[in-house]
Amino acid sequence: MSDDVLEKQSNTLLEAAAERSETSEKPSSSRKSLFGNLNKDLTEALNSWDTLTEQMSNRISPEEEQLREVKRLLGELKSKLNEFAD
C-alpha cells in the first residue's frame, strides 16, 4: 500500500473517532430532553385518562341503555295487558 492510502485511512479513522466522541456527548443532553418530553407526554396522557374516566363513569353502556328500554317496553306491555284482563 502506498503512503497516501495509509494516510487517508488514518485520517478517516481519526475523523470517525472524533465524530463518535462528539456524538457521544450530544446524546446525553438529547436523551435528557427526550426523556423529559416523554415524561411530559405520559403525564398529560395520565391526566387525560383521569378526566375521561370521570366523564365516562356517569355514562351507561349501550347494553344497559338497551336493557332499560326493553324493561320500559315490557312494563308498558304489561300495563296494557292488565287493562285487557280487567
Residue ranges making up the domain that contains 12:
3-85
Q: How far apart are CA 86 and CA 83, in angstroms?
A: 5
What mean pLDDT is reported for the chain? 77
- The pLDDT, as a whole number, for residue 1 is 45
- Looking up cell 326493553 gives 70
The 8-class DSSP code of residue 86 comes to -
Which pLDDT value is given to residue 74? 96
- Given a cut of 70, the residues of the chain with pLDDT beneath it are 1-28, 86
- The number of domains in the chain is 1
